[in-house]
Amino acid sequence: MKSLGKTLKGGEKELFKAITDKDNHVTINTVRKDANVFFGSFDGKGKNTIDFGDVDLLDAPENAGEFSAAQVIGHETLEAYHSAINQTTVSTDSHNFANQFFGGLEGGTTVPNSTVFDKGNKNLLGYKVDFPINGRKGVNARVTFEFQTPIPVTALQANKVKKGSQLVHVTKVEKSP
């Protein structure tokens, strides 16, 4: 095993360390199409969750070679490993550690004119967001969101939509300029 470890580099080497570490343990919970998990979530002290409904979308042909399923799994695993070692519930340091080897998504921007409304334009059904990929300058993952419960336009206009309260599903991921 030791000789195998010596042949690895970068993210593979870090994953190898996590797998062979007898003192620090990682738990990865899995869900599918859970609107409360966007690809992955940090749960603290060695625990993360991965949404395979979201991750499966990354292997679509239009997304090939960009933000990959392996990248998400590597990122979430190393993030959990870092928080297991440090016994932390604060995600920032663990997120930054994982980004060194498997770049995650950065803060997104709504794609102009990407909003989709129902007939009569009374409810917002979905929209697209471009997320820059850490470590891949100029490359975004364009994610299409669909609301589980459409949002009335009147609520949007009155800014009555509470932050984080609208559950959405990721329905498509493609690369964008």
The site for other proteins (CB under 8 A) is made up of 35-42, 48-49, 75-76, 79, 90-92, 95, 104-112, 115, 127, 129, 131, 145, 159, 161-168
Cβ 23 to other proteins shortest distance, Å: 25
Distance CA 14, CA 147 (A): 37
**Total length of the chain:** 177
Comparison of 20 and 36: residue with beta carbon closer to other proteins:
36
Phi/psi at 148 (5° precision): -70, -40
Instruction: For residue 2, give the H/E element and its range.
Output: helix 2-6
Q: Tell me the closest approach of the beta carbon of residue 16 to other proteins, in angstroms.
A: 23
Supply the minimum distance, in Å, between the C-beta of residue 127 and other proteins: 5
Q: How far is the CB of 107 from other proteins (least distance, A)?
A: 5
Q: Which is nearer to other proteins, 7 or 157 (CB)?
A: 157
State the nearest-atom distance from the C-beta of 20 to other proteins, in Å. 25
Long-range contacts of 83-88 (CB under 8 A, 24+ apart): 83/42, 83/44, 83/45, 83/46, 83/47, 84/24, 84/25, 84/26, 84/45, 84/46, 85/24, 87/45, 87/46, 88/44, 88/45
Smallest CA-to-CA distance from 50 within 88, 9, 98 is with 98
Residues 6+ apart with CB under 8 A from 65: 175
Which DSSP state fits 25?
-
Beta carbon nearer to other proteins, 7 or 137: 137
Cβ-based nearer residue to other proteins, 61 or 112: 112
Residue 1 or 158 with smaller CB distance to other proteins: 158
